[in-house]
Structure 1
Amino acid sequence: MFPVRTGLIIWVSDVKAARNLEKYGSLHYISRKMHYAVLYVNAEFAEETMKNIKRLPYVKKIERSYRNELKTEFSGQFEEKTRFYGM
């Protein structure tokens, strides 16, 4: 139903020019202080999109997000310890 998306963290030298990344996918966030942008693209076209983005003059480095690969389901095998640390 929904396409599988993957995140790309793109380190840029010019934050104003980073707004042009919208044409490659969904631009989620731009950090003005740390000079990076978070872009979500379709997973099946991610490699091709990365090649096109690397050619841009203001792009320093591209990293792939590991969020899809992390386990987000947790088992309840550990007992809850919050009652011991309460006031």
Structure 2
Amino acid sequence: MISVDIKARIKEISFSGDKSCLFVVETEGKNELVCTITKKNIELADLVKENQEIELKGNIAAYRRVKNEREYISNTLYVDSITHVEQEQMTN
């Protein structure tokens, strides 16, 4: 596993339940990551809102497998902490 600490925007929430939460974030470089909150940290699911800017820490698990001579790669970021990033608001 690879430890990460990134700032990103929550692009979409795929699933939010009692035992897990699955969502997609978009980084500043327009890369997307699938993030998972497991039962161990399920209280963090309350912080997951679409279009919210966040800073998150966690571990990426990368899996590679070959099936029928085709390679499949799956990267999942398991979230350990989430912090909301304050967005500057312009006032007139």
Same fold (TM over 0.5): no
Q: Which has the higher strand share?
A: 2
Q: Which has the higher helix share?
A: 1
Question: What is the TM-score with the length of structure 2 in the denominator?
Answer: 0.24
Higher relative CO (Cα under 8 Å, sequence separation at least 6) belongs to 1
Question: What is the TM-score with the length of structure 1 in the denominator?
Answer: 0.24
CA radius of gyration, larger in: 1
